[in-house]
Amino acid sequence: MTPRSLLLIEADPSVQADLSGLLQRDDRHVQAVSASREALALLRANPVDLIVAGSERTAFDPLKLLRRVRSIRPDTKVILTGDPNPQHILYAIRQRAFGYLRAPVIPAALTDLVQNALDASSWQDDIRVISARPEWITLDVRCKIDAADRTTHFLREITGDLAPHIAEDLASAFRELLMNGIEHGGKHDPRKRVRASLIRTPRSIIVHIHDPGTGFSMDFLPHAAISNPADSPIRHIEVRAEEGIRPGGFGILLTKNLVDELLYNERGNAVLFVKYL
């Protein structure tokens, strides 16, 4: 198997050595440089599978680097690191960055994201930015599980200024309902998309998710844990096995315990939840 090629940009020699060791695997070739200028020269000469942009000693604009990469090798995957500015993160999504990590980078988050990037295929148009106002963000997400994972990753970075327990509850609830929309509304059809909005007010976070399906009745969800009868707390697991549905079904029940308000529309193909700050 041909080793996967990673190009790391990091000016600090000790950090560069640590990150190179962290990212190295038997099936990878990691090349490290100290400046984006060197990285772009190498990229012109040969394609790479993934660029991880750390820091430079001079004024470093990771978004400018992303634009340059797109002009040289449009399909190259890029993971950016930088400040937690939501506008920068949304711009990165628009420019098809694979991921964005707030500095200082958490090693485990970086290794997971790098592996996801190397494993991903047909990823370029999975997430579209519809609204980029920091107080009203709307994304169109392709009906794929890995697209849901990437969208949740971006959400975590965008909400990095919140208290950790609030941000984690928000991300967990968001992913559960987004996955429900992809699985039950979109039927895992990559030609379809789920629209997700994140709205911030001074006192709350509101999430609205609308899937392309025909909806469902909240009165008839035998495959969901929320519908289990009191005398059969695992009945939905049996139903899912009988119908050949993947293990799970805890999404709505879990979300109700993570957020403050949860509402579905009449058709059942749109959901809104509120998390108070």
Question: Does 131 lie in the same domain as 106?
Answer: no
Final residue of a domain: which of 59, 94, 121?
121
The 8-class DSSP code of residue 246 comes to P
Question: Does 18 lie in the same domain as 38?
Answer: yes
Question: Does 111 lie in the same domain as 129?
Answer: no
Can you give the CATH number for the domain in which 92 is found? 3.40.50.2300
Sequence-ordered list of residues with C-beta below 8 angstroms from that of 93, at least 6 positions apart, any chain: 100, 127, 129, 139, 154
Can you give the CATH number for the domain in which 223 is found? 3.30.565.10
- Give the per-residue pLDDT at 145: 94
Question: Does 116 lie in the same domain as 23?
Answer: yes
Contact between 273 and 261 under an 8 Å Cβ cutoff? The reply is yes
- Give the per-residue pLDDT at 250: 62
Question: Does 95 lie in the same domain as 4?
Answer: yes
- Give the per-residue pLDDT at 62: 83
Question: Does 250 lie in the same domain as 141?
Answer: yes
Question: Does 73 lie in the same domain as 174?
Answer: no
State the residue range of the domain holding 50. Answer: 1-121
Final residue of a domain: which of 99, 121, 143?
121
Final residue of a domain: which of 121, 137, 168?
121
- Give the per-residue pLDDT at 249: 53
Number of domains in the chain: 2
Question: Does 152 lie in the same domain as 81?
Answer: no
pLDDT tens track, the chain, 277 positions:
688 999 999 989 999 999 999 999 999 999 999 999 999 999 999 999 999 998 776 666 888 999 999 999 999 999 999 888 999 999 999 999 999 999 888 999 999 999 999 999 889 999 999 999 999 999 999 999 999 999 999 999 999 999 999 999 999 999 999 999 999 899 999 999 999 999 999 999 999 999 999 987 555 455 555 555 655 555 555 555 656 666 555 677 789 999 999 999 999 999 999 999 9
Question: Does 189 lie in the same domain as 79?
Answer: no
Question: Does 157 lie in the same domain as 262?
Answer: yes
Any alpha helices (H) in 24-143, and if so which ranges? 36-45, 62-72, 86-94, 107-119
- Give the per-residue pLDDT at 83: 86
- Give the per-residue pLDDT at 63: 86
Locate 84 and state its tokens: 């937690």
What does pTM read for this prediction?
Answer: 0.86
Question: Does 268 lie in the same domain as 180?
Answer: yes
Taking the C-alpha atoms of residue 69 and residue 41, their distance in angstroms, rounded to an integer, is 10
**Which long-range contacts (C-beta less than 8 Å, at least 24 apart) are formed by 262-270?**
264/218, 265/215, 267/214, 267/215, 268/215, 268/216, 268/217, 268/218, 269/181, 269/185, 269/210, 269/211, 269/212, 269/213, 269/214, 269/215, 269/216, 270/208, 270/209, 270/210, 270/211
Strands (E), 155-251: 193-201, 204-210
- Give the per-residue pLDDT at 243: 63
Question: Does 111 lie in the same domain as 145?
Answer: no
